[in-house]
Amino acid sequence: MTVEKKLAAMGIVLPEPPAPVASYIPGLVCQNLAFVSGQLPTKDGKLLMEGTVGAEVSVEEAYIAARQAVVNCLGVLKFLVGDLDRVERIVRLTAFIQSAPGFHGQPHVANGASDLLQEVFGERGKHTRVAVGVSALPLNAPCEIDLIAAIRS
Amino acid sequence: MTVEKKLAAMGIVLPEPPAPVASYIPGLVCQNLAFVSGQLPTKDGKLLMEGTVGAEVSVEEAYIAARQAVVNCLGVLKFLVGDLDRVERIVRLTAFIQSAPGFHGQPHVANGASDLLQEVFGERGKHTRVAVGVSALPLNAPCEIDLIAAIRS
Amino acid sequence: MTVEKKLAAMGIVLPEPPAPVASYIPGLVCQNLAFVSGQLPTKDGKLLMEGTVGAEVSVEEAYIAARQAVVNCLGVLKFLVGDLDRVERIVRLTAFIQSAPGFHGQPHVANGASDLLQEVFGERGKHTRVAVGVSALPLNAPCEIDLIAAIRS
């Protein structure tokens, strides 16, 4: 099954990439590496949820937010490469989790993104990861996720 | 107009790269990618301003700090490649903004860096970006910015 | 002296890479670049220390934690490439330091990692670096360190 059929079977609709912003862009391909800008857990143009994990947002909710943020990364990636089966490997995922002081479950939150990638891409979805807690994210989002992928030439 | 003439016309003087430190360096080129270490908004060896955005530092001030930090990145890049017109593409910019809890305007601050890159490099300056808020930066700087650029071989 | 003999002479034992996790992996090589996932200062499966730098953890202690985290990165790197002398260059190190508000000594902490790399790899260990303070890290670790290295083909 192709990556995009798998996404469809899971009921996941890839968003159009966000409208081009003045001075930075959602993604680009350079030397067979695709770089995707930090994505927030937006759906249909608004955040799935706002707030800080370990305070207003639970780990379970934030797991869903991380999954949505990486769906948005895949939307950008599809825009860049046309067909997600051209992705040879998800190389690096970085998850910034807006965290209350004393909250140390960032890996559980980031799994929302990592699990989806492996489910959809299989072996090609096994990536390296950095997951850290930060004090504040744009729009009061609970997480921001960016990635680098290798593209078949 | 070359990139460096454009910088001069804008009245921007690129700094010498910071003195080599014992165990890490300001930048290096590897496989046509230039990596620039995290730069603070220093000018003539001292910070333009200290403090936390959303507290002592306003968004407007921090925009100027982000612009200065990316000017310092360009100083390193010039040192690495000799002539900034050898830059094929600014690939990735990461902006860490020292943010007060509840401050969520990191994108507005990071635009200080992104706007400069596009102004100076045009299409080649359109980059991917990650902008997050952190609780503490070296020297109490309001921002730290690093980048990756593709270099013509 | 080879890199691994030097490590042995320094009394440093590289750990086995952490057990594979469900959906992300400790490291991978892509297009001659090795990416290592964020590593915590664990030894024999538990953290050397817990806590926030500038509060319960001193700079001197955190320096040792950063050194241990990068030893864990080298363990992953060895697993990836077989022989650490195949490392052509340490390209990028990112150090996230769990920091108390008002603590701005992240570079001193990150030197624990950077100094070790230069000691062990010499010129090949001179890397670019990003060091920032964050509010919360997995398991209440004082630091998390990731890296990218170029590998001889």
Closest C-alpha among C44, C39, C100, C84 to residue C66: C39
**Rounded Cα gap, residues C112 and C2, in angstroms:** 21
Averaged pLDDT of chain B: 94
Interacting residues of A77 by C-beta distance below 8 A, sequence separation 6+: A27, A34, A36, A84, A87, A147, A149
- Whether chain C has a CB inside 8 Å of the CB on B61: the answer is no
Number of domains in chain C: 1
Window 2-21 of B, Cβ < 8 Å to C: none
B20 pLDDT more than 70: no
* Residue C18 lies inside a defined structural domain of this protein: no
- Asked if residue B101 belongs to a domain, the reply is yes
Residues 6+ apart with CB under 8 A from A61: A49, A142
CB B44 within 8 A of CB B150: no
In sequence order, what are the beta bridge partners of C127? B24
What pTM was estimated for this model as a whole?
Answer: 0.96
Which subunits sit against A, judged by 3+ Cβ pairs under 8 A? B, C
Among residues A153, A105, A149, A106, the alpha carbon closest in space to that of A128 is found at A149
Residue pLDDT, tens place only, C101-150: 999 999 999 999 999 999 999 999 999 999 999 999 999 999 999 999 99
Tens digits of per-residue pLDDT, C76-98?
999 999 999 999 999 999 999 99
Mean pLDDT of all residues in chain C? 94
Q: How far is A113 from chain C (nearest CA, A)?
A: 9
Q: Tens digits of per-residue pLDDT, B33-45?
A: 999 999 999 999 8
Contact of C104 with chain B, judged by CB distance below 8 Å, is answered with yes
Residue C7: inside a domain: yes
Q: Is residue C105 part of a domain?
A: yes
Q: What does the pLDDT read at residue C123?
A: 93
**pLDDT cut 90: percent of chain A above it:** 85
For chain B, helix, strand, coil in percent to 5 are 35, 30, 30
Residue C98 belongs to domain with CATH number: 3.30.1330.40
Rounded distance between C-alpha atoms, residue B109 and residue B6, angstroms: 23
Evaluate whether B148 touches B36 at the Cβ level (below 8 Å): yes
Host domain of residue B88: 3-14+28-151
Q: Distance between CA C60 and CA C62 in Å, rounded?
A: 5
Alpha-carbon torsion, ordered A26, B99, A129, B147, to 10 deg: 60
B42 against A153, higher pLDDT = B42
How far does C22 lie from chain A, in Å, by closest CA?
Answer: 8
| DSSP letters spanning A52-111 | -BTTTB-HHHHHHHHHHHHHHHHHHHHHHHSSGGGEEEEEEEEEEEEB-TT---HHHHHH
pLDDT-based confidence at A21, cuts 50/70/90? low
Mean pLDDT of A23-51: 94
Question: pLDDT category, B16, cuts 50, 70, 90?
Answer: confident
Give the integer Cα–Cα distance in Å for C114 and C145: 11
Of C79, C109, C80, C83, residue with least CA distance to C94:
C109
Note the pLDDT of residue B36: 97
Question: Residues 113..142 of C with a Cβ closer than 8 Å to B: which?
Answer: 114-115, 117-118, 125-135
Q: What local confidence, expressed as pLDDT, does residue C23 receive?
A: 80
CA angle B20–B23–B25, rounded 5-degree value: 45
pLDDT at residue C19 greater than cutoff 90? no
Query: CA–CA separation, A36 vs A75, rounded Å?
Result: 10
Q: Are C83 and C153 in contact (CB under 8 A)?
A: no
Q: Are C153 and C32 in contact (CB under 8 A)?
A: yes
C26 part of contact set with chain A, CB < 8 Å: yes
- Whether residue B19 is contained in a domain is answered as no
In a domain, C41, yes or no: yes
The answer to whether residue B22 sits within a structural domain is no
Which of the pair, A54 or B21, is modelled with greater confidence? Answer: A54
For residue C16, being part of any structural domain is answered with no
Sign of the dihedral through C-alpha A3, A4, A8, A13: positive
Q: Is the pLDDT of residue C17 over 90?
A: no
B26 vs B75, B79, B110, C36, C92, CA distance in Å? 10, 10, 20, 21, 11
Interface predicted TM-score (ipTM) over 0.85: yes
